Amino acid sequence: MQETLRHPHVAGHFYTAVPGRLRSEIEGYLGEPAAAKAKAYGVMVPHAGYLYSGAVCGHALASVEIPGTVLILHTKHQVGGGKFSLAGFREWETPLGKAPVDEQLETALANVDGIDVSNLPHFNEHAAEVVLPFLQVLRPDVKICVISVSHAPYDELLSVADGIAKAVLAHDGDDTLIVASSDMNHYEDHHTTMEKDKLALDKLTEYDTQGMLEVCYSRDISMCGVHATALMLETCRQLGAGKVELLEHTTSGEVSGDMNQVVGYASARVL
């Protein structure tokens, strides 16, 4: 029997488990949007501990309208499930309460060719969980669906993106935001990471999805959620998006002071 409630896994580790403190911290991040708020098809945000990437995530999400439903696509850090694994929970819990799953959209997504339903890669995964409290503060009645995305050929990504877009349009295309959860380059020095990240981010802002994937492969850019981001971009394109705006780009070194081994964090919105 499949679990129906997804309990928080990294509360108290990636972010505080104290509800009042968590809400206050998030409200602080949201008080400084990276750009004037706009209606967007999608947004890319990082998923590290709030100390390091919470500001970038919050500034980005404060820059887009949060509709009634949010579909979170994230990199697959955990074992289990297939290349595209839709979580089968009914609710996702954080210290701020329980966010319900949009069961109508979930049913439509479960019928997309290439997507399987499995909770296995979601139990111990942080990439969607750390985004959820921001959504709960911005839109207390938000409903969600969550898909983990592993490595997949470009043509397969395109096919699944087409299926997701059709499911979203049939559900309510104007009331769904696609969120890609991804960090950028990992564990090189600040200068190298900023340069490598820029190669991928240039392709991202050119709306060149295939080019973004190829440069990450060819230049060894360890953007962990590149496939989730590619899926978000192509889904948004099918929904009518035409441009990508880079919002912020930094590294963990700016917070930790250690510039020798950093992780890159960036945000962007798709309009």
* CATH code for position 136: 3.40.830.10
- Tens of each residue's pLDDT in the chain, 271 residues: 578 999 999 999 999 999 999 999 999 999 999 999 999 999 999 999 999 999 999 999 999 999 999 999 998 777 677 899 999 999 999 999 999 999 999 999 999 999 999 999 999 999 999 999 999 999 999 999 999 999 999 999 999 999 999 999 998 767 899 999 999 999 999 999 999 999 999 999 999 999 999 999 999 999 999 999 999 999 999 999 999 999 999 999 999 999 999 999 999 999 9
d(CA 177, CA 68) in angstroms, rounded, equals: 8
CB atoms within 10 A of CB 268: 25
CA–CA distance, 178 with 169 (Å, rounded to integer): 12
Phi, psi for residue 174 in degrees, rounded to 5: -80, -5
Rg, C-alpha atoms of the chain = 17
From the list 209, 96, 184, 91, the residue with the least C-alpha distance to 146 is 91
Predicted pLDDT of residue 1 = 56
**pLDDT score for 78:** 74
Residue type, 52: Y
In the prediction, which pLDDT does 173 show?
A: 61
pLDDT at 82: 87
Q: Residue 75's closest CA among 150, 129, 131? A: 150
**Residue span of the structural domain in which 120 resides:** 5-270
Give the residue among 81, 24, 38 at the shortest CA–CA distance from 247. Answer: 38
The Cα 131–Cα 234 span in angstroms is 21
How many domains does the chain contain in total?
1
Tell if the pTM clears 0.95, that is, is over it. Answer: yes
Distance CA 12, CA 2 (A): 26
